[in-house]
Amino acid sequence: MAVTLRTLLPEDSERLLAWRNSPEVAPYMYSDHTITDGEHGRWFAAITGDPRRAYWIIEHDGVPVGLVNLYDIENTNGRCSWAYYLAEAGVRGQGVGALVEYAMLQHVFENRSLNKLWCEVLAENEAVWKLHESFGFVREALFREHVLKGGEYRDVVGLGLLAADWRRIRPDCEARLRGKGQPLPSAEA
């Protein structure tokens, strides 16, 4: 299994809109509404050339299966936020998320030399926040009733990882991934 992260291209726009509105992705997003073509077009135009954002398409054996991004990149404060989703349900449970996690941690702490990576996860999405914790993320916040989804307020877990934490846990993470026979991926700069 080969997982690669390639830079987002203009021709990915239609695929991203379909993914974002799909039942595999939409339940894990903050918003509930169906994203329109116009709304998506404005978003896609806004992310192009924005130095505070970076996007990659996740590929599994050369097939696009999801999206990963960095946002609120603050070089002055040495931090950024991130998120990802696997839009193709067939790749879930195969270790793709762990490989994406590893690639982004390498990119943030080695390529960008940032000090902190931060994320927010719906509390009910336990598999994802537990994956983050397995890579050294620490729960730093619980935002109670933070997001309104399906007519109900939902809690959100805030997690953070420091560069020093990553340096400490990285060998164990690499050994765990290699022990599963998975080549370690990287993200295009």
**pLDDT tens sequence across 161-188:** 999 999 999 999 999 999 888 778 866 6
Distances 116 to 46, 55, 102, 167 between C-alpha atoms, Å: 25, 18, 15, 12
Full-model pTM: 0.92
Largest CA distance in the chain: 45
Backbone angles phi, psi at 155, to 5 degrees: -80, 155
Task: Give me the domains of the chain, ranges plus CATH numbers.
Answer: 3-179 (3.40.630.30)
Closest CA to 45 of 10, 82, 73, 15: 10
What is the pLDDT at residue 119? 97
Backbone angles phi, psi at 34, to 5 degrees: -75, 125
**pLDDT tens sequence across 73-112:** 999 999 999 999 999 888 888 889 999 999 999 999 999 9
